[in-house]
Structure 1
Amino acid sequence: MNFLINRLRGDKVIWAIVVLLALISFLPVYSASTNLVYVIGKGSTIGYLLKHFVHLFIGFVIIFWVHKVPYHIFRALSIIGIPVVILLLIYTLFQGTTIGGANASRWIQIPFVGIGFQTSTLAFTILMVYVARYLAKVSDKEYSFKDSLMELWLPVFGVLALVLPANFSTTALIFSMVCMLVYVGQYPLKYLGVIIGAGIIALTFFILVAKAFPNAMPNRVDTWISRVDSFLDGENDVRDDDYQITQAKVAIATGKIHGLGPGKSVQKNFLPQSSSDFIFAIIVEEYGLIGAVTILFFYLLLFVRFIINAQKASTLFGKLLIVGLGFPIIFQALINMAVAVELLPVTGQTLPLISAGGTSIWMTCISIGIILSVTKKDEEVALDEQESKNREEALQRIINKELEVSANETDEDKEGLNPLEPILNQ
């Protein structure tokens, strides 16, 4: 164990928080899985727990592997990754799977494995790295809006256009996070204002076209509108989203200060997404306000570490990577919590590192691995310098020892100890 810990690089506080959140997730996921087992009649609680363990184990392998890679390599990978994710999104849009009889065109099946994969989360991660790369590249150059339109915004809007028909909440999160990142990267505000205006116009046009031709493309516009209307009206009817919100509020109200205790949730039997989208409500029901505040504290502490490391990063690209990949993790967590307490309409965003689900965990782990790669740079330089110094000192000691041996042999030769002398005397 000590050997493994000694091989971990980067911000140790980030490592500790990530491990704690992963450990915390096991009890809520195990408890909430009874909904799938006893209500839906699918699988076993131990099976879901083992599945969650495997997802997290693979996630930590991803973190360990990614954080060993020098972060500047991700510049080139993002350029290659953009066309790849666009092709994947196109494929997903037309070949998305059906889950539980419902359209789930944000998912595809990985061949020969049978695992569902949400391509929009991969696109999100690669796009943020790509935007950070572009902003770092042009930071000390003069460029026009037309230049940035082709190289920066064309890939961004291409990804958004492909994610939007199946997942409005993720599209909105991606667009807002990209705008936040370009603002931090000192992109001209007048250009950013034009982009935001163009985005609003494009969204309005898409909604109008989708309403006019509802069968022309796979879309969920009616679902978006019903969710917003339900949230604004505050009415509870038989619609699925209203039902889930009502059950989540009952769970939160039942938890009170101390909660009902681990595994004692009642509402997990009524919440369809109790182990993923609404797992925060189950945490509050079982662990009360204390559990809710603890979870919130860990995410806010992680947010503070992201800010500190972004300020300490030695390059602009490193700073933008931490902001672009770290802040969305925190905002996604806050959105998930806000939905559970009905501060926001239902979005379908999971609670990072806690909710069950392979794709969301793995993409979060990739982001954390890249962030740790940025935070480890100064530390590794110091370690490399120390190791180099130690090697030089060891080499110098070997050279000095060889010189001493050589000097002794020379002195013996001067005294006439020639190994050929007995033969010559014969």
Structure 2
Amino acid sequence: MQRRSDRRPVTEWWRTVDRWFLFGFIALIGFGIVLSFAASPDVADRIGLDTFHFVERHAMFIVPAVAVMIGVSFLDDRQMRRVALVVLLGAMALMVLALFFGLEVKGSRRWVRIAGVSVQPSEFAKPAFVIICAWLFAEHLRRPDIPGNLLAGVLFAAIAALLVAQPDLGQTVLVAGTWGAMFFMAGMSWLWIVVLGGIGVAGLVGAYLMLPHVANRIDEFFTGAGDTFQVDTGREAIVRGGWFGQGPGEGTIKRILPDSHTDFVFAVLAEEYGIVLCMVLVGVFALIVLRGLMRSFREEDHFRRLAVSGLVTLIGLQSMINIMVNLQLLPAKGMTLPFVSYGGSSMIAVAITAGFILALTRRRPETRFGHVRFAAPAPMQAAQ
């Protein structure tokens, strides 16, 4: 049993961390481990790799991901902003580099090779972008003469421009939705809502008219013409699974699903384990998002409130987009399911996001009458 007087860092961390968030993230990692065995061996066999190639690589990335998540969760607010700034600047520099020297996959340049490992910089930019925007919005709320909202808008425009240039419309929509939600929670006026809504619609129309691959995906989604093999196969896998699934290892549709280990891992879960377990997975994501929003609504510090709400919105929107693509409710986006899909860059980036959430929601010590106690979120403090 831990003593209240034990002040060791690990003991202090365990006493102050939000365990609902912690167990939620661990549950998602557990889903990812199980589904890596279910979804990836057939993909590896099809492309001539060792049967458990992707399973082994997925397991290999879990160790650094958990270490990153726990390590980041020890940061205080000032350290977090500094780390986020370094990560954001580095990721943006690599995104520019990817446009000229990156690996081209399916017509997009989103990856760069570092020390023999393919890295997708945009994945790391997302959580850092949320933290920096939350700080800028909070600074404007603290001192209206600081142009925090304007700077956050300029930063969003820069990130969006890099994503469109790759091109990666799915990530652009994800970042835009998260930034818009944070701006709204920071007190966006109705005028801004109308203006930004109009810009968003104009951007989607422009993407449809100017980017052939975007137009093709949208046309395929609404007409059913063209190459819809993967989305149709994913839907068939979900239907075949029924309520309780075909059983572990008994799925057959997954064997011909090209991206069963990444974009369509939810379809594999449905085929082998059924809709019931799919609802459990959705429930874990809902727990993380709803608890984050509840914690942020009670938070008086503007930075923490906006950062937590922005980070859980990022996770919630990404998971929702992935699942809706599997259910044929959205055109294919090429977006992973956080902590569940295969992908080293995605897993480490989501671990950073989770670490930020754990750090921001840890109970903070208050000193009263010479004693330290852990209390609810402290009154608003000036952002550093």
TM-score normalised by the chain length of structure 2: 0.87
Equivalent residue of 2:289, what SS?
A: helix
RMSD after superposition: 2.6
Between the aligned partners of 1:140 and 1:18, the Cα distance in structure 2 is 32
CA contact (8 A) 1:75 1:129 kept: yes
Cα deviation, 1:280-333, whole Å, max 9, x if unaligned, reads 000000011111111111111112211222133341100111111111101111
CA change 1:326–1:358 in 2 (3 A) is: same
The answer to which of 302-311 and 316-325 deviates more is 302-311
CA contact (8 A) 1:257 1:288 kept: yes
Equivalent residue of 1:352, what SS?
A: coil
CA change 1:152–1:38 in 2 (3 A) is: closer
Structure 2 counterpart of 1:109, which letter? Answer: R
Aligned counterpart in structure 2 of residue 58 of structure 1, from 44, 53, 64: 64
Between the aligned partners of 2:69 and 2:83, the Cα distance in structure 1 is 17
Match of 1:288 in 2: 274
Between the aligned partners of 1:68 and 1:29, the Cα distance in structure 2 is 29
Aligned counterpart in structure 2 of residue 356 of structure 1, from 342, 364, 376: 342
Between the aligned partners of 1:332 and 1:69, the Cα distance in structure 2 is 25
Match of 2:291 in 1: 305
Q: Does 1:68 align with 2:74?
A: yes
Between the aligned partners of 2:77 and 2:148, the Cα distance in structure 1 is 24
> How much does 1:355 deviate?
0.7
Match of 1:23 in 2: 30
Q: Does 1:34 align with 2:24?
A: no
CA contact (8 A) 1:313 1:374 kept: no
> How much does 1:80 deviate?
4.7
> How much does 1:189 deviate?
3.0
Between the aligned partners of 1:117 and 1:253, the Cα distance in structure 2 is 34
Match of 1:161 in 2: 161
The answer to which of 131-140 and 27-36 deviates more is 27-36
CA change 1:71–1:377 in 2 (3 A) is: farther
Between the aligned partners of 1:105 and 1:123, the Cα distance in structure 2 is 16
CA change 1:304–1:204 in 2 (3 A) is: closer
CA contact (8 A) 2:32 2:339 kept: yes
> How much does 1:200 deviate?
4.3
Match of 1:336 in 2: 322
Between the aligned partners of 2:242 and 2:367, the Cα distance in structure 1 is 49
Q: Does 1:122 align with 2:112?
A: no
Between the aligned partners of 1:293 and 1:149, the Cα distance in structure 2 is 38
Between the aligned partners of 1:167 and 1:223, the Cα distance in structure 2 is 10
Match of 2:382 in 1: none
Equivalent residue of 1:33, what SS?
A: helix
Between the aligned partners of 1:26 and 1:321, the Cα distance in structure 2 is 29
Aligned counterpart in structure 2 of residue 89 of structure 1, from 67, 79, 95: 95
Mapping for residues 207-356 of structure 1, pairs under 5 Å: 211=210, 221-233=211-223, 235=224, 237=226, 239=227, 242-356=228-342
> How much does 1:194 deviate?
2.7
Equivalent residue of 2:77, what SS?
A: coil
CA change 1:249–1:205 in 2 (3 A) is: closer
CA contact (8 A) 1:82 1:155 kept: no
Q: Does 1:10 align with 2:17?
A: yes
CA contact (8 A) 1:14 1:302 kept: yes
CA contact (8 A) 2:218 2:331 kept: yes
Match of 1:391 in 2: none
CA change 1:30–1:310 in 2 (3 A) is: same
Between the aligned partners of 1:311 and 1:257, the Cα distance in structure 2 is 36
> How much does 1:76 deviate?
3.8
Between the aligned partners of 2:207 and 2:268, the Cα distance in structure 1 is 36
Match of 1:418 in 2: none
Cα deviation, 1:29-70, whole Å, max 9, x if unaligned, reads 11211222322221231x322211121211110111000010
CA contact (8 A) 1:332 1:351 kept: yes
| Larger Cα-atom Rg | 1
CA contact (8 A) 2:292 2:308 kept: yes
CA contact (8 A) 1:264 1:286 kept: yes
CA change 1:54–1:224 in 2 (3 A) is: same
Between the aligned partners of 1:382 and 1:53, the Cα distance in structure 2 is 42
CA change 1:195–1:334 in 2 (3 A) is: closer
CA contact (8 A) 1:177 1:324 kept: yes
Between the aligned partners of 1:149 and 1:307, the Cα distance in structure 2 is 21
Equivalent residue of 2:141, what SS?
A: coil
Gaps of 5+ in 1: 212-220, 389-426
Equivalent residue of 1:151, what SS?
A: helix
Match of 2:182 in 1: 181
CA contact (8 A) 1:32 1:268 kept: yes
Equivalent residue of 2:248, what SS?
A: coil
The answer to which of 301-310 and 166-175 deviates more is 301-310
Structure 2 counterpart of 1:28, which letter? Answer: L
